[in-house]
């Protein structure tokens, strides 16, 4: 971790640039170790003082380095981004080290402005042409990592994240986008899938009101269904979905699972208002889901053979979501739900499914069994968490 000039001399003295690189590297290693200890679940002690740390400080420091095109400054930018990633849990308040007053710094106007400027800059770096310079390649890779894991930083509040994700969903599967757009979409999907699946639905955790408006919940699911339908159409055209298909599948799995798990818990409870609301959501959503399935199947069957459709969309988001929904509904069988209404909805799929299977097609050995087993295992794991 020496600058280019210090590498050429045998002198014991070091210049300011070398000192900067060594110090940054040392702090980054301490922060990285702290993150690993925190994730291990064991007791840990922090050797870093996070008092006064905010995104504005990072951005000011990064901007100064960016103004100097020296190779050493590019290395320093890379180290600073690595340090920033290790400090995400501090900046979002997801830690037991900082005080609540310190964690609230992430809500200040300065933080929001710094988040916007840093996000804009990182997107520009990712979208610019490839460089043959090793330092620039390293920096660009770290910029990607920062964008992928920084949804909670660059979009500081839940409502902003929801709005940004829904805006991007409208055309993420059907248009060519810059790399930064795909990275941001993956970051937001991962955030809501892994950290905040209920953040899209905003269902009440307790004290359910009888006049709770379910239209917002159903609107969220309708958006996901429309995106899943477009993905099927693009898959039939052999248009590569890059990474968006994978993260969309994970997002749909988490959000639909969160919705159905919430309904299950309300139906198992003792509050009549909550039960009635859960029944209404379940009945309406299942009808909404089956209607979308029927529409997309009828549309595809009018253009392609059943064999081609099965081969093309067997790994689609819709295929995964259908398996998950059916397995969830099997667990609902012991509860007080409108069975006849749900069965009538499923009966509308009989004809499209007959047409889909009207000609023989080769299915990869054990594919169906494997997919169902994987889905069931994930479902059982989710239910254990809720219990």
Q: Give pLDDT, residue 11.
A: 66
CB atoms within 10 A of CB 5: 12
Q: Give pLDDT, residue 10.
A: 63
The CA–CA distances, whole Å, from 291 to 119, 258, 278, 317 equal: 39, 21, 20, 16
What's the maximum distance between 2 C-alpha atoms anywhere in the chain?
Answer: 85
Query: In 3D, which of 152, 274, 277 has the Cα closest to residue 217?
Result: 277
Determine the distance from the C-alpha atom of residue 72 to the mean position of all C-alpha atoms in its chain, rounded to a whole number. Answer: 34
Q: Give pLDDT, residue 18.
A: 87
Q: Please tell me the pTM assigned to this model.
A: 0.82
Instruction: List, run by run, the mean pLDDT of 10-residue segments along the chain (387 residues).
Output: 60 79 94 88 81 93 92 94 94 59 55 92 92 91 96 90 89 76 92 88 81 91 93 86 79 95 92 91 96 95 92 92 95 92 93 83 50 56 51
The 8-class DSSP code of residue 47 comes to: -
Q: What angle do CA 286, 201, 116 make, to 5 degrees?
A: 140
CB 152 within 8 A of CB 195: yes
Query: In 3D, which of 291, 283, 185 has the Cα closest to residue 229?
Result: 291
Would the CA dihedral through 201, 206, 212, 214 be positive or negative? positive
CB 75 within 8 A of CB 21: yes
Q: Give pLDDT, residue 110.
A: 77
Domains of the chain, by residue range, sit at 16-32+53-94+103-195, 204-386
In the three-class reduction of DSSP (H, G, I as helix; E, B as strand; rest coil), residue 387 is classed as coil
Q: Give pLDDT, residue 356.
A: 87
């Amino acid at each position: 971790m020496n600058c280019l000039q210090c590498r050429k001399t045998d002198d014991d003295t070091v210049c300011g640039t070398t000192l900067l690189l060594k110090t940054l590297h040392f702090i980054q290693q301490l922060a990285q170790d702290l993150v690993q200890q925190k994730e291990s679940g064991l007791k840990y002690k922090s050797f870093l003082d996070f008092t006064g740390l905010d995104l504005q400080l990072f951005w000011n420091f990064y901007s100064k380095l960016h103004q100097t095109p020296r190779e050493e400054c590019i290395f320093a930018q890379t180290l600073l981004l690595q340090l920033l990633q290790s400090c995400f849990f501090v900046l979002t308040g997801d830690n037991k080290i900082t005080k609540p007053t310190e964690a609230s710094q992430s809500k200040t106007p300065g933080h929001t402005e710094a988040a916007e400027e840093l996000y804009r800059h990182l997107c520009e770096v990712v979208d610019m042409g490839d460089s043959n310079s090793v330092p620039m390649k390293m920096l660009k890779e770290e910029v990607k990592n920062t964008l992928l894991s920084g949804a909670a930083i660059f979009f500081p509040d839940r409502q902003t994240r929801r709005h940004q994700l829904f805006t991007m969903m409208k055309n993420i599967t059907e248009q060519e986008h810059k790399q930064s757009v795909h990275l941001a979409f993956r970051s937001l999907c991962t955030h809501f899938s892994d950290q905040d699946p209920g953040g899209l639905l905003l269902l009440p955790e307790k004290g359910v009101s009888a006049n709770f408006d379910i239209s917002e919940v159903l609107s969220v699911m309708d958006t996901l269904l429309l995106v899943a339908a477009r993905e099927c159409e693009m898959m039939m055209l052999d248009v590569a979905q890059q990474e968006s298909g994978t993260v969309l599948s994970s997002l749909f799995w988490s959000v639909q699972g969160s919705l159905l798990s919430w309904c299950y818990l309300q139906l198992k409870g003792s509050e009549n208002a909550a039960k009635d609301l859960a029944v209404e959501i379940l009945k309406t959503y299942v009808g909404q889901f089956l209607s979308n399935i029927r529409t997309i199947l009828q549309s595809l069957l009018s253009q392609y053979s059943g064999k081609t459709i099965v081969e093309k969309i067997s790994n689609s988001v819709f295929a995964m979501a259908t398996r998950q929904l059916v397995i969830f509904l099997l667990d609902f069988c012991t509860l007080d739900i409108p069975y006849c209404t749900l069965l009538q909805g499923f009966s509308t799929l009989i004809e499209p499914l007959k047409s889909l299977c009207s000609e023989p097609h080769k299915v990869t050995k054990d594919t169906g069994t494997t997919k169902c087993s994987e889905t069931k295992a994930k479902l059982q794991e989710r239910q254990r968490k809720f219990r």
